[in-house]
Amino acid sequence: MQQAKKIQLRRQAHQLHPVVLLGQNGLTPEVHLAIDEALNAHELIKIRVNAEDKEARKAITNDILNHHQADLIQSIGHIIVIYREAVED
């Protein structure tokens, strides 16, 4: 993804609120379904990842990105912003 596109998406994400909250149950099939639905509806979403440490958050983030074929736009603390372009039918 081009840097200019990432900057534009970061600006758009600034006003967003997290639409998916990961709790102590981690990445369940229901959480993946919620992420997929949110990406299909909005393309750009924020997710709050409540993990024990930075390495756990990084592992969960990578799992989300791989599972949903999404791009990481920004990661600050417990909040990640991801983007997946909508597929046209």
Task: List the strands of the sheet with 44-49, edge to edge.
Answer: 20-22, 44-49, 79-83, 71-76
Residue 89 has pLDDT above 70, yes or no: no
CB 23 within 8 A of CB 60: no
Residue 34 has pLDDT above 90, yes or no: yes
pLDDT digits (tens, 9 = 90+) for 63-85: 999 999 999 999 999 999 999 99
Percent pLDDT > 90 in the chain is: 85
pTM of the model: 0.92
CATH 3.50.50.60 fits 3-83, yes or no: no
**What are the structural domain ranges in the chain?**
3-83
Separation of alpha carbons 66 and 64, rounded Å: 6
Question: At CA 20, angle to CA 19 and CA 25, rounded to 5?
Answer: 165
Question: At CA 35, angle to CA 76 and CA 67, rounded to 5?
Answer: 90
Residue 58 has pLDDT above 80, yes or no: yes
More confidently predicted of 12 and 87:
12
